[in-house]
Chains A and B, each alone.
Chain A
Amino acid sequence: MSHDLRQPDDDDPVIMTVDQRSVWAYLTVVLITSTAYFVVVIPRALSQPIEDVSWIAPMLWAIGASIVGTIVGSIFGSIGGAIGLAIRGIEPKGQLEGDLRDKDIKRLGDRRGALISGGAMFGVLVLAMIGADAFWIGNLVFLAGTVGALVEGVTKILAYRRGF
């Protein structure tokens, strides 16, 4: 079967690499699942004693949905990118795979995200030392993970769009 896919011209639109698509998927999914979690748990925490609040199941669902959603979103994003290129007659090979720049951006984002998450662990330590309810410890860890993920994602997107 012959195919007449071409290399992109300078005038062709710039497409996102698989890595960048994964960042968008990660950022979007974490935002949705974390918001959903807090929408469920905060009203419970406000309406009953903290030790009675059921938070473990919603948190496990949020974490599981974040992992699955990011994987599925990344796969669909990559397939969508390849299809979009093929429709325009552009050879997808060499356009979607990440390279050194993607690795540099990943390193930058991971480092900033880890700073936030790691810093919050001091708060967790303090809560454990004063014997705080497991609700507060678990939720501070979750919140730190969420904020760290958002900082990581936004850092990467800004690096892709504005440079670094």
Chain B
Amino acid sequence: MPPKPTKVTNQVRALRFESGEMTQADLAERLKVTRQTVIAIEQGKYSPSLEMAFEIARVFKRPLDDVFQYAAGGTDDQPSS
């Protein structure tokens, strides 16, 4: 059975590689979580808390929107015609 998708997608894996090949263990250590949690976040199997999401963005020195995207429909900012 495929992993249960969350509505939140992220660029954590790509940003790790952009940040000098940071390993999962390195990121986990900085966030004070397990490597398993970093892997679960990258694979979309776990949506981190808002606090942890900000921590992750801070590690990569990026705004939150660059790291996490919310893919649910119906809440777009596009004006209705």
Residues of chain A at the chain B interface (Cβ within 8 Å): 7-10, 14-17, 94-102, 104, 162-164
Contact = CB atoms under 8 A, between A and B. Distances in A.
A163 B25 contact: no
Contact of A7 (B25, B36, B37, B45): B25
8 contacts: A7-B26, A14-B35, A14-B39, A95-B34, A99-B37, A100-B33, A100-B48, A101-B46
A100 B46 CA distance: 11
A6 to B, nearest CB: 9
Given A10-B23, A14-B39, A163 B34 contact: no
A95 B35 contact: yes
Interface stretch (B1-9, B62-70, B71-79): B1-9
Given A17-B34, A99-B34, A101-B37, A163 B28 contact: no
Q: How large is the interface on B (under 10, 10 to 19, 20 to 34, 35 or more residues)?
A: 20 to 34
A101 B3 contact: no
A94 B28 contact: yes
B12 to A, nearest CB: 12
A8 B35 contact: yes
B37 A162 contact: no
Contacts of A101: 33-34, 36-37, 40, 46
Nearest to B21: A10
Given A7-B25, A10-B24, A101-B40, A162 B45 contact: yes
Contacts of B5: 163
Contact of A99 (B6, B32, B44, B45): B32
Contact of A163 (B24, B43, B48): B43
B49 interface: yes
Contact of B46 (A9, A17, A95, A164): A164
Contacts of B6: 163
Given A8-B24, A9-B25, A164-B46, 13 more contacts: A7-B25, A7-B26, A10-B24, A17-B34, A94-B25, A95-B34, A97-B34, A100-B33, A101-B36, A101-B40, A102-B34, A163-B44, A164-B4
B4 to A, nearest CB: 5
